[in-house]
Structure 1
Amino acid sequence: MSDPRGGASTTLVLVRHGVTTHTSGRRFSGGLGGDNPPLSDEGRDQVGHTAAWLGELGDRLDAVIASPVRRTRETADLIAARLGLEVTEEPAFAEMEFGSWDGKSFAEVAAADQAGMDAWFSDLTAAPHGGESFHDVHRRVLLGLGRVLDAHAGGTLVVASHVTPIKTLVGHAVGAPLESLFAFELAPASVSVVAFHPDSSVQAGYRASLRMFNALPPGRRTLLDTGRW
């Protein structure tokens, strides 16, 4: 991978979007193919705390990148306004498309399509009708990662994204199997940090490391505190 900044690592500060009505209602909420709800007032408040926290990094942050989905674009806009940066979009970092499940609760999908849900949890190539599989998302997220690393080599970037793409990037960084996505928990508006270090001796052209996972600004309650699992 080309590295115009002389081998400096590229750091992604991954921010999950704040809550929407779908998040609070435990409903499947995918990318642009679904209901595409905005942040709720609670979600905007969550992101505001995260934006203020990231603002402490000042000019150490070089760019803000967003999934084009409404809730992530709103998250990115709030953060970028605090940092004084523009937002660019990377479609590959959008949430998994849930097809016919989008907007439905887990209970509603289980009642209507238990076999499909069982397959989705046991086979990473299985997809909801009209949606994507975990393998599909993994492939497009890593293609997007390559574009971002090429375009922003050596930079420190805020990336506003979703549960599945963020877990995909974290799992990729630590060399975990794709099945590990089921073992990760991500709070709304949480921050995870991965760094990519140029290394021409490996096939990917870089080595990755995880520097932070599922962190919340001081004063924000965790899932353990609230009991909202």
Structure 2
Amino acid sequence: MLYLMRHGAPAIEGRLLGRTDDPVTESGIAACVARARGLTFARILSSDLIRARDCAAAIAAPLGLSPTSDPSWRELDFGDWDGLPPAAVDQAALLRFYDDPDAAPPPQGERWSILQTRVAQALATMAPVPTLVVTHGGAIRAALAELCGFDQRQLWAFHLPYAALVSLRIWPGEARTVQIVGVST
């Protein structure tokens, strides 16, 4: 099993938080801990950003696990938009980004294909053991694109609020099969 969990609510919500290392709230951590209750996993990974790392550490501690942070699981870098509320961004540029984040990335930001490539590499190097990854909405969507073949429009259809959990069963091999077992929001 592979569990992909979005980190808890950050201290400042309503912003485009990519590389901005904003802390998570106590209630955000508690929401992730509650969401993880009952899951069975042998390993926990997280983005290296504090809002994901702190949630992973809180989930791992009572289980005696040591989470591993990996920058491959970071959110998309929003460049010049990073840390801004969407209303403060040129709306035409933001719409072009949402329509095609690879062709119209944020100024000085990351293209969608770069995010997808680094998440795909992280997935390819994962040991085949039940794993929980505490990460970001963009990285979860990139993983779903890689594992399930969803296109961009399909990915935006996934509602992934803070502490959301996507559960996947993966059968490895040449003809890898992936089953979405559940999405908890």
Given the two structures, how large is their TM-score scaled by the length of structure 1?
0.75
The 1:102/1:143 distance shift into structure 2, 3 A limit, reads same
Q: After TM superposition, list the pairs within 5 Å mapping 1:1-229 onto structure 2.
A: 11-23=1-13, 26-31=14-19, 34=20, 36-51=21-36, 53=37, 56-57=38-39, 60-109=40-89, 113-125=90-102, 126-148=104-126, 152-153=127-128, 155-200=129-174, 202=175, 206-213=176-183, 215-216=184-185
CA distance in 2, matches of 1:95, 1:212: 22
- The amino acid of 2:27's aligned partner reads E
- 5+ unaligned residues in a row in structure 1: which ranges? 1-10, 217-229
- Kindly, what percent of the aligned residue pairs are identical? 28
One-letter identity of the residue aligned with 2:43: A
1:220 matched to which residue of 2? none
List alignment gaps of at least 5 residues for structure 2: none
Contact persistence 1:173–1:209 (CA under 8 A) = no
Q: Deviations over 1:102-132 (max 9, x none)?
A: 11111111xxx23321321222312111211
Equivalent residues of 1:16, 1:162 under 8 A apart: yes
RMSD value, Cα: 1.6
Structure with the greater alpha carbon radius of gyration: 1
Equivalent pairs counted in the alignment come to 184
How far residue 177 of structure 1 moved from its aligned partner, in angstroms, is 1.1
Query: Secondary structure of 1:22's partner?
Result: coil
Tell me, in whole angstroms, the C-alpha distance in 2 between the residues paired with 1:100 and 1:61.
Answer: 37
Partners of 2:172 and 2:156 lie apart in 1 by 29
